[in-house]
Amino acid sequence: MRIVIIGQQPFGAAVLAAFLARGDTVAGVFCAPEKSGAAPDPLRAAAAERQIPVFQLSSLRSADAHSILRGLAVDLGVMAYVLQFIPESLVKIPTHGMIQYHPSMLPLHRGPSSINWPIILGETHTGLTIFRPTDGLDEGPIVLQRPTPIGPDETLGDVYFKRLFPMGVAALLEAADLVMSGGVVETAQDASRATYEGWCRAEESRINWHNPVDQIHNLIRGCDPAPGAWARFKGRKLQVYGASKQITGAFVPSAINEVGTIVAIGEKGFSICAHGGVMTIAKVRYDGGEKMPAARFCAENGLEVGSKLHAKDEG
């Protein structure tokens, strides 16, 4: 088949490589322009290396975008990690339209941080959907879906890189074949079951140590590796990674086990008191610096038993 790929990042590059490896023709690639000073986008770099035309337009609603896509004369558009808005007028240009990857079981978790939120919310399953894009956000009919479990200690990185990434590449290949063969049965999304969450960014990833230990654990692993759950130490942002929890029962306030207080430091990291248990943190990033073992951070920055990580801007 003759396709165009719209996307970015390593996932987009992997999708490009997968279609080329089986002999399909990629007539062109659309990816968002890189910000000034940013590293080259992996999809753009992979396409350029293979001498595939690359189009980096600030808007895909433009007349230029429509004209370019018509000129490529493709059978199918494949959307792989797309953050730019794509209007239905563009979607309809390829002979067989377009298909889009979304890393959740739509209509659940529509929105841009759909891998973070199921983990943060403590869910035990997620998955991926290949669907037909429309002007509604993640609202188009479903072509196929693939579920996957979320382990009790798995992070965003575990779920994405170990499963949703490779499963997504394979699912796009399968969905493309279904569409091209005419064998696809599209299923409308049940709007009554739909959920939507916005970006998981700095404000959403801030830790409140007064929350139950399970909730804190889910937040940390749902933000690991990005955007990185955080609190403040000595007035600066301390992002935490590699969390594990120990359930200790009901929280009883005291000078020793006040929430957010360091109660132990060891080779595996430092432990913090929370409601109903203790969180142990293996790695940290302080004030935007390098990620480092938590034990090393303690030794270099004066974090000790009795120190407190603050949920707000004080301290």
Domain ranges of the chain: 2-193, 213-301
pLDDT of residue 269: 95
Q: Average per-residue pLDDT in the chain?
A: 94
- How would residue 272 be classed by pLDDT, with cut points 50, 70 and 90? very high
Asked whether residue 95 carries a pLDDT value surpassing 70, the answer given is yes
- Mean pLDDT score, 35-52: 95
Asked whether residue 312 carries a pLDDT value surpassing 70, the answer given is no
pLDDT of residue 253: 47
Fold of 2-193: Rossmann fold (3.40.50)
Q: What is the DSSP string of the chain?
A: -EEEEEE-HHHHHHHHHHHHHTT-EEEEEE-PPPPTTPPPPHHHHHHHHTT--EE--S-TTSHHHHHHHHHH--SEEEEES--S---HHHHTSSTT-EEEEESS-TTTTBSTTTTHHHHHTT-SEEEEEEE---SSTT-SPEEEEEEEE--TT--HHHHIIIIIHHHHHHHHHHHHHHHHHT----B---GGG--B-----TTTTB--TTSBHHHHHHHHHHTTTTT--EEEETTEEEEEEEEEEEE--S----SSS-TTBEEEEETTEEEEEEBTEEEEEEEEEETT--EEEHHHHHHHHT--TT-B-BSSS--
Is the domain 213-301 a CATH 3.40.630.10 member?
Answer: no
pLDDT of residue 258: 87
- How would residue 248 be classed by pLDDT, with cut points 50, 70 and 90? confident
- pLDDT digit string, tens, across residues 136-163: 999 999 999 999 999 999 999 999 999 9
